Amino acid sequence: MHVLVVGGAGYIGSHMVKLLVQRGFKVTVLDNLSAGYRDAVRGARFVLGDLFERDALEDLCREIRFDGVMHFASHIQVGESVREPAKYYRNNVFKTQNLLDVMVARRVRCFIFSSTAAIFGEPVRIPIDEEHPKQPINPYGRGKWMVEQMLEDYDTAYGLKSVSLRYFNAAGADPDGELGERHDPETHLIPLVLQAASGRRPYLTVFGNDYDTPDGTCIRDYIHVNDLCEAHLLALQRLWEGGNSAAYNLGNGNGFSVQEVIATARQVTGREIPVQYSARRPGDPARLVADSRRAQAELGWTPRYADLATIIAHAWRWETRDS
Ligand code: UFG
């Protein structure tokens, strides 16, 4: 089986490539390196390219008969999506449609899509199951929800089978220490906490401690990047076995506050983590926790690294890799 991993040089994509190669799949990575790193792609063919270049994509799909496509190539910053919606709709929606159209033209039937908890907007109930209302509150979430809806229509009309995986907070790093999170700029909590622990940053800024939560800081459901990758593989295998298109929420089902993340990171690293408090970051819901029972029941998915200390320990190993 030969899998095309679009965005395979990025954070989650590179972990996915490693897992696929380990499990004996042939892998081709397509990445424009706008946010990825060539050296993060190991054991797979690397093609430098952009989904905008539809002809080149068709040529690639003519050369190789892919059995499935996984699509990780997205812009991921909510705040930026509000300031630059055109960038988000062009990259995350329009270019995804190019990919889907080429798949339809070349009769590649199985597609795994990186979706997000941001499609739900401000939650009306916790934990968030798949049927929770979809009311995204920013262009990032709206674009992802548009693609999910497009996928339903492409299945009905063209028979393209897909699984949309709605990540809650992707975190952690390769347990072997070879891969990790390298966003520039980094906006995610756990790497920033660990940069404050290692001294790469002077302190962590906590965005708001006046939320309606037990300690006043936001609660999130952190899910290990390798557990996300396992879910992708299970989802693709389900489609290969003739399964229907579906969407799954992926998290551990446990919420941790920003303060709890900092406290756990202090334990794991044994370091001081200087903290400053600032105003809330616009658009941050107080609490996001997944109900992932459907993924467990239908995909047989069980997170292996569900413990927050383990997630942070793997990320810490990556943060301190050169020291
Ligand atoms: N936070 C801080 N300080 C920081 C960074 C984050 O206090 O320097 C807080 C945030 O306010 C939030 C929590 O830590 O309460 C987690 O923030 P992240 O930026 O790590 O993650 P988000 O929950 O904002 O984002 C995640 C994904 C995004 C996705 C979003 C959808 O990482 O890609 O969920 O809601 F768009």
Residue 129's pLDDT is 98
Would you list the domain boundaries of the chain?
2-170+223-250, 189-220+253-319
Residue 323's pLDDT is 79
Residues 32-37 have a mean pLDDT of: 97
Q: What pLDDT, in 10s, does the model give residues 176-201?
A: 999 999 999 999 999 999 999 999 99
Q: What pLDDT, in 10s, does the model give residues 290-309?
A: 999 999 999 999 999 999 99
* CATH class given for the domain over 2-170+223-250: alpha beta
Q: Whose structure tokens read 């551990």?
A: 252
Residue nearest (by alpha carbon) to ligand 1 atom 29? 118
Question: Do 292 and 250 form a contact (C-beta atoms < 8 A)?
Answer: yes
Give how far Cα 89 sits from Cα of 33, 58, 146, 296, Å: 19, 22, 10, 32
Residue 283's pLDDT is 87
Active-site residue, selected from the candidate residues 140, 154, 167, 211: 140
Residues 246-274 have a mean pLDDT of: 98
Percent of the chain residues topping a pLDDT of 70: 100
Residue 24 — very low, low, confident or very high, per pLDDT cuts 50/70/90?
A: very high
State whether the Cα torsion 213-313-167-80 is positive or negative: positive
Rounded Cα distance between 278 and 116, Å, is 26
Residue nearest (by alpha carbon) to ligand 1 atom 26? 169
Residue 66's pLDDT is 98
Model-wide pTM > 0.75: yes
Cβ of 167 less than 6 Å from ligand 1: no
* CATH class given for the domain over 189-220+253-319: alpha beta
Residues 9-18 have a mean pLDDT of: 98
Cβ of 218 less than 6 Å from ligand 1: yes
Q: 290 phi and psi, to 5 degrees?
A: -90, 145
> To test the ligand 1 pocket, which listed residue (218, 223, 278) has its Cβ within 8 A of the most ligand atoms?
218
Least confident of 35-39, 136-140, 196-200, 282-286: 282-286
Q: What pLDDT, in 10s, does the model give residues 126-166?
A: 999 999 999 999 999 999 999 999 999 999 999 999 999 99
Q: What pLDDT, in 10s, does the model give residues 75-114?
A: 999 999 999 999 999 999 999 999 999 999 999 999 999 9
> To test the ligand 1 pocket, which listed residue (142, 145, 207, 311) has its Cβ within 8 A of the most ligand atoms?
207
Calculated CA dihedral for residues 254, 231, 146, 65, nearest 10 degrees: 170
Distance 284 CA to ligand 1 centre (A): 7
Is 140 considered catalytic here? yes
Q: What pLDDT, in 10s, does the model give residues 64-79?
A: 999 999 999 999 999 9
Q: Residue 263: CB partners within 8 Å, gap ≥ 6?
A: none
Residue 43 — very low, low, confident or very high, per pLDDT cuts 50/70/90?
A: very high
Distance 178 CA to ligand 1 centre (A): 24
State whether the Cα torsion 219-254-303-147 is positive or negative: negative
Cβ of 140 less than 6 Å from ligand 1: yes
From the CA atom positions of the chain, what is the Rg in Å? 19
**How are beta strands 26-31 and 2-6 bridged, if at all?**
parallel
Q: Is the pLDDT of residue 117 over 90?
A: yes
Residues 16-29 have a mean pLDDT of: 98
Query: What is the average pLDDT value for the chain, to the nearest integer?
Result: 97
Residue 69's pLDDT is 98
